[in-house]
Structure 1
Amino acid sequence: MSPVSPSAEKTERLMNLILALTSARRPVSKQKLRQALPSYAAAASDEAFDRMFERDKDELREMGIPITTTVIDVLFDDEVGYRIDSSETALPAISFEPEEVAALALAARAWSTASISGAASAALRKLRLAGVEIDDSMAAGVEPRIRTREPAFEAVRAAVTALQPITFDYRKSEGTVDTRHVQPWALKNWHGRWYLTGYDLERQAERAFRLSRFEGPVRKKGRAGGYSVPSGHVPEVAVGTSDPQPAGTAVVRLRHGRGGALRRHAVTTREVDDRWSEIELPYRQGLTESDVAALGAHAVAVSPPELVERVRTALAGAAVANGGAA
């Protein structure tokens, strides 16, 4: 069994101190805290305990946790007790507008086919327990889905969160494979594909890597938290420069007020009538049809023919999946 790291031990000690001082009905003396908390009881001497307790107390106060100091006995004013008033640390009740609840529910459903779907479902359960009404009757059919089928996703996500340098084998567009050493900065879903943006240590430059081209396991290299992400980093820019060139132009009709993601890529836009507009945009095979199909009845593929056929196939599959007829 591996030993507990100093940071984990300290975190546990601070949490135990918070719980002890929050749950206490009356101020608690230092000696009682030392007897009650294992980390303090294990202190080598009174001086070591005093130093540890004072550091912990100051750190909690720096975090904004108000620790009050009160004289326990008026006859002995040198004996003081400590307590945390839970009313000072409790958060106010959280409320959501109906539109916000719908957006949260849709976001959780978008992750339902992803590797972190459990976290999304848990978030909805917590909202329900807090009294937030979640509408489960939202139309399920063609709706956005976020998929994370790439084997490297979890390891890369953990590295981005921990600011952990990694190394991995990467298959380039011409088919060759080489090893990259990268400081991960961000994960970005771009036109249906997942990309890692970060700093390539060997090339001394910012790069973007498509997760589907990772070969083999992702390996840690170096300590976590040893670098920071530049404040001006924009993942869309880094990924956009590495995205393959579009294969021609697509024409799509959109209902007014719909298809914002498609409209952002529009080259031209014309109004068809008081309900529909028609846009031209770069056609990325395998991606544009997904964006069009996700809009259901609010979008119509016009050209090229392969886009029309792919959207029709996607909609037919969604109809069958939901008990309808293709």
Structure 2
Amino acid sequence: MAISAEERLLGLIIALMHARTRMTKDEIRASVDGYEKADPAWDGAERARRDAAFERMFERDKDKLRRLGVPVVTVRHQAYGDDIGYRIDPSQARLPALDFTPAERAVLSLAADYWHGVTLGEDASHALIKAASGSAHAAAEALPFAALSTRLTDATAQLVEAIQARQEVAFEYASASSGTARRRVQPWRVRLSGGAEYLIGYDVDKAAPRTYRLSRVAGPVKTVGDQGAFEVPESIDASLMPSGTPGTATIAVRPEAAHALRARGRSAGEDGDWDLVEVDYTHLDALRDEVLALGGAARAVAPDALVAAVRSHARAALEVTGG
């Protein structure tokens, strides 16, 4: 069974941290899963080729660990001659104790929920459990997100990885002006604004920076070309940052429901058994999602665009579920 790069790196860390004095490259190759083991049946040319492949892989792994802050130490000593070894000093690699406040743990919970179900979902959940178990126990801080409908998508996770690798991506993108077309982009940033996710990057075909709303990405996001193919600018032009159209909406809510809406809104009277709440918004679709997430406990009253959006999405959901 093939070993992933992450598993190989973890095995290398464990091996080097448990080395009593040091480990040579030959010992690392023989004991760490993921490195091809030497075979006596190889002839001279084959051995040279495979040894060179191992050397390149090990050097990349060693550099990656050092970039991650893992102190891989090169051990040279007269007793070993020219035979170089490696080890990790556990005292340098150990992280300080974590101690989060209840409010910080609540924010971490939101972050773990945001990553739920995609590439880093399980990792985020495990990290949260470990962090919380090492922190002082206290009552959790309540956060005003009674109807959080935004979660990371698979497209977002793929773009985050491409940004880290500085690798171009390609995807189908639907826009009102040009319909659905293929885009090839150098991804720079992923931003969350008003409950919607956006990609900011350089459109290779248009030769200009662009902003893309991820909900309009159709199909999978695919990486293109080599890693490290471009540089991400340190600052992004403010005109590229996602922005919405501010407005005020009136939402009817059931008594003892929609506490997040009530907390940031204003009472606007009553409509029979419903309480009316005025809410300022920047992104209408984010407010639409919040109303829909409340189910029968909320309905849109104004503006007309919000009412139409809520009804349209509710009808579509009923058709999908056969209702």
With structure 2 as the length reference, what TM-score do the two structures score?
A: 0.58
Report the AA paired with residue 285 of structure 1.
L
**What CA distance in whole angstroms lies between the structure 2 residues aligned with 1:61 and 1:172?**
43
Distance 1:112 1:205, change over 3 A: same
- Name the structure 2 match of 1:67: 73
Tell me the amino acid that sits aligned with residue 23 of structure 1.
H
Alignment-derived partner of residue 198 in structure 1:
201
Instruction: Note closer, same or farther for the CA distance 1:88–1:183 as it changes in structure 2 (3 Å cut).
Output: closer
Whole-Å Cα distance in 2 between the matches of residues 158 and 289 of structure 1? Answer: 30
**1:118 and 1:138, CA in 2 relative to 1: closer, same or farther beyond 3 A?**
farther
> 2:108 is aligned with what amino acid?
L
- Which residue in the other structure is 1:121 paired with? 125
Tell me the SS of whatever aligns to 2:172.
strand
Verify: 1:19 aligned to 2:23, yes or no. Answer: no
Cα shift readout 1:25-72 (whole Å, capped 9, x = no counterpart): 4x2475984795476973958xx89x969x969967896626375869
CA distance 1:183–1:235, change in 2 (3 Å): farther
Q: Structure 2 residue aligned with 1:227, among 230, 234, 238? A: 230
1:192 Cα deviation from its structure 2 partner = 2.3
Contact 2:155 2:221 (8 Å CA) reproduced: yes
Q: State which of 108, 112, 118 in structure 2 corresponds to 1:108.
A: 112
User: Once the 2 structures are TM-superposed, how far is the Cα of residue 198 of structure 1 from its aligned partner?
Assistant: 0.7
Superposed, 1:213-224 pairs within 5 Å as: 213-224=216-227
Give the C-alpha shift of residue 98 in structure 1.
2.7
1:286 is paired with a residue of what secondary structure?
Answer: helix
Task: Give the Cα–Cα distance (whole angstroms) in 2 for the partners of residues 214 and 250 of structure 1.
Answer: 28
Using the alignment, how far apart are the partners of 1:220 and 1:78 within structure 2?
A: 42
Identity %: 29
- Check 1:159–1:35 CA distance in 2 against 1; reply closer, same or farther (3 A cut): closer
Larger radius of gyration: 1
**Gaps in structure 2 of 5+ consecutive residues:** 40-46, 252-259, 266-276, 294-298, 312-323
8 A Cα contact 2:17 2:89, kept in partner: yes
Residue 159 of structure 2, aligned match among 146, 156, 159: 156
Compared with structure 1, are the counterparts of its residues 134 and 58 closer, same or farther at alpha carbon in structure 2 (3 Å cutoff)? same
- TM-score for the superposition, normalised by structure 1: 0.57
Please state whether the residue corresponding to 1:160 is helix, strand or coil. Answer: helix
Contact 2:250 2:279 in 1 (8 A): yes
What RMSD, in angstroms, separates the aligned Cα atoms of the two structures?
5.5
Deviations 1:183-203 (A, max 9, x none): 111222222222211101121
Of 165, 171, 190, 2:168 maps to 165
Instruction: Note the C-alpha offset of 1:174.
Output: 3.7
User: What amino acid is the match of 2:105?
Assistant: V
- How many pairs does the alignment contain? 272
Deviations 1:279-300 (A, max 9, x none): 9956643334667999xxxxxx
Q: Which amino acid aligns with 1:186?
A: R
CA offsets 1:265-313 (integer angstroms, 9 cap, x no match): xxxxxxxxxxxxx99956643334667999xxxxxx9984669989xx9
Q: In the alignment, which residue of structure 2 is the partner of 1:298? A: none
2:95 is the alignment partner of 1:91: yes
Separation (CA, whole Å) in 1 of partners of 2:55 and 2:114:
47
1:211 aligned partner? 214
- Mapped to 2, the partners of 1:209 and 1:305 lie a distance apart of 26
SS in 1 for 2:241: helix
Report the Cα distance in structure 1 between the residues aligned to 2:226 and 2:55, rounded to whole angstroms.
27
Q: How does 1:46-61 map to 2 (within 5 A)?
A: none
CA distance in 2 between partners of 1:115 and 1:32 (Å): 34
Report what 2:38 is aligned to.
42
